[in-house]
Structure 1
Amino acid sequence: MEKFAGTIAIVTGGSAGIGKALIKRLLDKSVDLTVVGLARRPIEEFASFSNFRGFQCDVSKADQVQAVISSIQREFPGKSVQLLVNNAGHGKPLPLLDHSSLNDSCTIKVDSLEDVSSVYASQLNTNVLGLSLMTRAVSKLMDHQKCGNIININSMSGQRVVPTPNSHMYSATKFAVTALTEGTRQELRQINSSIRANQISPGYVDTDFFQAFSMEEGYQEKMKEIVKTAITSEDIVNSIMLCVEAQPGCQIGDIQMRPTVQKL
């Protein structure tokens, strides 16, 4: 982390799961790195660290992203952002087609296309739009002559489509992340930047993602069994650090990782 001394790292979705674990690792690794955590709810766990700053921010809202960017520029004049981890994201259970045979007990009940639009938009706005807004805004705060990283937390659902209709829109948003990561990499090369674009594509991870997806009792019971063998937030953080600590001339593109027992 020596190459990031005196700079800023920004982590979205920092109040729980992967984001929270990553913030803790970064703070433990270096007192010379300013770590900024973004989340829709307050991040209170790291108040004792002098080099941590938390902001409440819905990354899908352009005005909130701009307000955070302005605050960072004001509070840390002269410091560049050399690490951005786009971690915020979520899924909601609703198939693409309106057919009863595609629904199960955790499928969200919708009464109109307006309801459907709300369910789909919540995923698109956070997983795709929010990531894009953060990448565009934060890249202007980066010193492109220095080594750095823009890391997107993707999913194995951005690599293949599984036959579970409830997750097909979520998968579509993660396929978009795959395209956005490669597009970012190409644009960074076109402007002769020293920043690397990376993505981590995990399978089942033991986080609160499943609680956010659905609290339906049968689904939760199934997930309790799955998380017994799931990879952990620390596994994801280890992969992020592999990208971060790689030598400046090394660009790690996509790390795909699953629990050993996961079949798809």
Structure 2
Amino acid sequence: MKFIHSSDLQIGKAFGTFSTEAATLLQEARQTAVRALGNAAMASGASTVLIAGDVFEREQMSQPTLMRAIETMRAFDHLQWHLLPGNHDHYRENGLWDRIARAQLPANVRLHVQPGAVEIADDDGTPVYLLPAPLFFRASPNDLTAYMTDATTPDGALRIGLAHGSIQGFGAEGEASNYIDPGRAESAGLSYLALGDWHRQIKVSDRCWYSGTPEPDRFKRPPNATGSLCNGGAALVVEIAGARMTPVVTT
């Protein structure tokens, strides 16, 4: 199983502190990041793209902004796209995710708005199950990945977690809310835990990574540092040969 792991596209971000011209360019870059992810999947031979939350900047978005991103995904009809609500675009009834679902959702785009193990692929006879942990509020007091530990899947299946939040006791980043147990991948028997929320690429463990954002959204650098503060502009290519095999993650 080979897939692209991304997060925090935050499509629709206003960039209000920039000039109108600069803000327009930055907003366009958020939309074109979707196509870049599709192209990266094609180039790497991946069959699937996982976006671990904050696909959109806020819960209130215009329909054209929402559907432009979805239509770009539709164009990559040989890829399966799996989208998770994050803290910026959390799920609520009749909110943006329901609006997308009602607007002729492409067959290759799946919205994971409820927790629970769901089969997403068959990898040469090995079933692949996704265990999503969508957010229903901007901040949750509970670890929404906790259910993964007891979620049942067939013996030998690949179990891939998809979540959005902050790893407990692993430093501070972003809003430092929606805490996640750093040992969740191991305790839940996950082949891989794909995380979003922190905007830098971070390896938590062999089976747990933050992908980083495909577009940087902080433009100041610490003294004597190089590159962007959030190290944006990237995604992860993840390949898993079997349920008990260590993932091969390419940055």
Same fold (TM over 0.5): no
Structure number having the greater helix percentage: 1
| Smaller-chain TM-score bracket | 0.3 to 0.5
Larger Rg: 1
Structure number having the greater strand percentage: 2
Q: TM-score, normalised by structure 2?
A: 0.42
